[in-house]
Amino acid sequence: MIAIYARQSVDKKDSISVEGQIDLCRNECHGQEPRVYSDKGFSGKNTERPAFQRMMTAVRRGEIEKIIVYRLDRISRSITDFGAIWETLKEHGAEFVSISEKFDTSTPVGRAMVYIIMVFAQLERETIAERVKDNYFQRSKRGAWGGGPAAFGWDLVRMEIGGKKATTLAPNKDMELVKEIFHRYAYTDTSLGKIAAWLTEIGVSGIRRKTWDNVSIARILHNPSYVRADADIYYYYKGKGIYLLNGIEDYIGEKGLVWWGKRDHNANKYTTFANQFLAVSAHKGVIDSSTFLACQHRLDENRQLKNTGSGKYTWLSGLVKCGNCGYSLRVVSSGGGRYLYFSCSGKSNLHLCNVAHHERVHEVEEEAARQIQREIDRLSSSPEPLVPQENHNAEKIELAHIDSQIENLMEKLEQANDVTMRYINERMVKLDSQKSELLKVINSTPVRQPFQFAGCDFMALNFDEKKAVAKVLVQRVEVSDGNVAVFYK
């Protein structure tokens, strides 16, 4: 049986259609009726195509003796993939004919031509991919949207950027929900799951997933397109190791950011920052930097703690630690679940601890609750804590420039002689003095911030309320030899 295979990823004026490919291939069948396989709307960069897979299954069953295609890249644009396909064809005695390139794998010349043409087909594909990447880079560098669909709450709009028409972002009706998502995650104890459940309950659509879940919420919270990028945002991403296309002077607390870059699909985009780029965009951000960073720090903490704190047996889950080894205490039961007590994971799982814990959960909770109540009473009666009132973004930008100048002078000291060293030292003293003055300004103008749990009766709270308050106030609870010690943030 002769088989004809045709493929077309998208309809283009200058490309031959699937039907046209099939008609041309029929001329090579010399009167035999072929079996036709066609994939329309599928790329040749891989072999995950339904009709192609059915054809290869038929080859393995010995039903096909020859495959005819209009052009070699209709089968595959990858020399690695085609090499595997060709090995399968040879193993099952099937020949391969390309009518456009005029070769037949039943001949030595035809087999040599296969390798040569596949090399150029892959080169063409990689060149196209590199060109697309360069265009993406250049658009993003001048503040335009690089490409792809807009995130939730944004619409793609055309506007003039740098004298040229380009695509950028504009908020739509869903942006108020985005603001609420950031506020709830930054300033309440609401989890990703609870936010997702809330959006699903009120019937919000607009995402590609079937329903809202932790991943869709985290994707919004991680997205820097929403933030009004200032110096604090610059330092945050610089510390992550992302390549920043703009200097700190462009981070003035108005514009959002655009993030792109090639990554391993098995790696997390938000933890693996190699080959990742960030540019200040032309669109205006909608989330202030302090709220955005509060969400990033909480997301980072969640990633480190994983499921810590999700326990249902004690409101101290994720907080209670062994006073001897520092590892978490987990809840175990006895008496058919009637008695709950703590056990050290450092002893049972890692064999690093020699302390046998048998503290009852309710006894530890009662003592921890008494200590937390005393701390709440103390904070409620003491003067409210002082916090900076202003962001001082301009001063932070100037501070970054001074640090850069100091670093440059430090490098020059290695080649300096006695004369130039004196001038370098004088300049560094002046810069250090300016830096000190800037730090005073940045850390000045404090205001008093009210204690959010003032007058709270902790002992009267229910399970979930105690867990929420403890998560905000408590760093850890150490249990050792029956003693309970609460440490606060």
Q: 305 pLDDT band (50/70/90 cuts)?
A: very low
Q: Provide the pLDDT for residue 307.
A: 44
Q: Could you tell me if 95 and 89 are in contact, meaning their C-beta atoms sit under 8 angstroms apart? A: yes
Tell me the pTM. Answer: 0.50
Q: Provide the pLDDT for residue 38.
A: 93
Q: Provide the pLDDT for residue 308.
A: 45
Q: Provide the pLDDT for residue 401.
A: 82
Residue with tokens 């594909």: 125
Tell me the average pLDDT of the chain.
81
Q: Provide the pLDDT for residue 264.
A: 52
Q: 302 pLDDT band (50/70/90 cuts)?
A: low
Q: What backbone phi and psi angles, to 5 degrees, belong to 272?
A: -110, 110
**Alpha-carbon span 311 to 330, nearest angstrom:** 9
**Residue type for 382, please?**
S
Measured in residues, the chain has a length of 489
Q: Could you tell me if 452 and 337 are in contact, meaning their C-beta atoms sit under 8 angstroms apart? A: no
CB neighbours of residue 475 within 10 Å: 10
Taking alpha carbons only, the member of 50, 42, 46, 48 closest to residue 11 is 42
pLDDT of residue 56 exceeding 90, the answer is: yes
**Alpha-carbon span 431 to 405, nearest angstrom:** 8
Q: Is the dihedral of CA 418, 424, 427, 428 positive or negative?
A: negative
The distance between the two most distant Cα atoms of the chain, rounded to a whole number of Å, is 98
Q: Cα 466 from chain centroid?
A: 32
The secondary element (H helix, E strand) that includes residue 155 is strand 154-161
Taking alpha carbons only, the member of 310, 349, 307 closest to residue 327 is 349
Distances (CA, A) of 93 to 48, 67, 75: 23, 11, 18
Q: What percent of the chain has pLDDT above 70?
A: 80
β-partners of residue 476 are: 487
Q: What is the mean pLDDT of residues 340-355?
A: 76
pLDDT of residue 306 exceeding 50, the answer is: no
Q: Provide the pLDDT for residue 129.
A: 62
Distances (CA, A) of 257 to 73, 225, 277, 295: 38, 5, 10, 16
Q: Provide the pLDDT for residue 309.
A: 47
**Alpha-carbon span 101 to 72, nearest angstrom:** 8
Q: pLDDT of 72-122, one tens digit each?
A: 888 887 766 777 788 888 889 898 888 887 777 667 777 676 677 667 666
pLDDT of residue 368 exceeding 90, the answer is: yes
Residue with tokens 């919004």: 220
Residue with tokens 């990554």: 263
DSSP reduced 3-state for 485 = strand
Looking from the CA of 242 toward its CB, the CA atoms found within 13 Å total 27
Q: Could you tell me if 8 and 18 are in contact, meaning their C-beta atoms sit under 8 angstroms apart? A: yes
Q: What percent of the chain has pLDDT above 90?
A: 25
Q: Quote the CATH superfamily of domain 2-129.
A: Resolvase, N-terminal catalytic domain (3.40.50.1390)
DSSP secondary structure, 446-461, as one string:
EEE---TTTT--GGG-
pLDDT of residue 2 exceeding 90, the answer is: yes
Residue with tokens 């265009």: 135
Sheet holding 277-284, edge to edge: 243-244, 277-284, 255-260
Looking from the CA of 133 toward its CB, the CA atoms found within 13 Å total 12
Determine how β-strand 483-488 pairs with β-strand 474-480: antiparallel
CB neighbours of residue 364 within 10 Å: 21
